[in-house]
Amino acid sequence: MTRPTYPTRSARFAIGAGLALAVALAGTAQAAEPYRESDAYTVRFFDDYIFELCGIETWTTLTERWTFMEFADGSTQLHVTRTFVPDDPRIPVEKGAGSSHTTPDGVRTVVGKPIQLFDPDGGITLLAAGLTEFDEFGDVLTVHGHNPDLDAILANDLAAFYCP
């Protein structure tokens, strides 16, 4: 009967270290942190939009925050919040917030409130909120929630919403 041969101590260490390194690298690849970029800023500007729409000269303050993430599988996520506050108290405050997630194959899901207008006297005059899913070509696949037909609204007179 022959005695089995085993690798030397250094060979066993090398094999064990190699296996441990392979397991560690595989775990690191799966748990890799996404690429992340974000910004927040406030700007004040003469509001050409309100001037052209309502004939009112006003300055508006825009506050915006956004975060973009890209994951190892190629999917992305973008979250944005923004608020437009005009100096003229007769003009409504406009807010919006939303998150967009795009899969590696290009399907994009958007959730949130893209537009919310607050009447200067109180209450909300216009609201769009919910979930919309687009295919890789940008065509709408699914719509859920309170989503007025913004194309119809935009084709009509927005002065009814913004102008006193």
Does residue 109 form part of some domain?
Answer: yes
Residue 20 lies in a domain: no
Lowest mean pLDDT among 85-89, 108-112, 121-125: 121-125
User: Does the residue 10 lie in any domain?
Assistant: no
Residues 6+ apart with CB under 8 A from 20: none
* Domain count for the chain: 1
> Among the listed ranges 2-6, 51-55, 58-62, 150-154, which one has the minimum average pLDDT value?
2-6
Question: What's the domain range around 119?
Answer: 35-162
Residue 27 lies in a domain: no
Q: State the Cα angle at 127 between 140 and 98, rounded to 5°.
A: 60
What mean pLDDT value characterizes the chain? 82
Task: Output the pLDDT for position 44.
Answer: 98
In a domain, 25, yes or no: no
User: In percent, how much of the chain has pLDDT > 90?
Assistant: 51
Does 91 map to a domain? Answer: yes
Q: Is the pLDDT of residue 15 over 50?
A: no
Task: Examine residue 15 and state whether it is found in any structural domain, yes or no.
Answer: no
